[in-house]
Amino acid sequence: AQKITQTQPGMFVQEKEAVTLDCTYDTSDPSYGLFWYKQPSSGEMIFLIYQGSYDQQNATEGRYSLNFQKARKSANLVISASQLGDSAMYFCAMRVSMDTGRRALTFGSGTRLQVQP
């Protein structure tokens, strides 16, 4: 089964501190991609960062980095220097092969992050 698990329904972090959002995945596909999205209270889905299964280095995008541990099947999102605007729902997703052999995203249930001043 191909599955994404986010075990933290909610997280609190102090402004300017770093925070790690956990994501584990399960797939037998040797080629896959891992994504993180941010969903603020306004509802839109904002792409943050991507990691390919064959990428040798962890992905980084500004204050976002993805801690990719392939053997552990984990793809945790690290947000450095949290800001109040980082308060949102965060989703981990994996691009997987469907029954047809074509690919689509499967999502975790999300983590709600609240940044406190």
- Point out which residues bind another protein (CB under 8 A): 4, 33, 35, 37, 43-45, 47, 50, 52, 91, 93, 95, 98, 100, 102-110
Q: Which is nearer to another protein, 28 or 42 (CB)?
A: 42
4 vs 115, which CB is nearer to another protein?
Answer: 4
Residues ≥6 apart with Cβ < 8 Å to 26:
1, 2, 3, 5, 73
Q: How far is the CB of 98 from another protein (least distance, A)?
A: 7
Give me the least distance between CB of 99 and another protein, in Å please: 8
Name which of 109, 72, 80 is nearest 92 in CA terms: 109
Instruction: Report the nearest approach of another protein to the CB of residue 10 (Å).
Output: 13
Query: Residue 36 in contact with residue 92, Cβ under 8 Å?
Result: yes
CB of 43 to another protein, least distance (A): 5
Report the 10 Å Cβ neighbour count for 80.
13
Q: What is the distance between the alpha carbons of residues 58 and 20, in angstroms, rounded to a whole number?
A: 14
Nearer to another protein, 19 or 93 (CB): 93
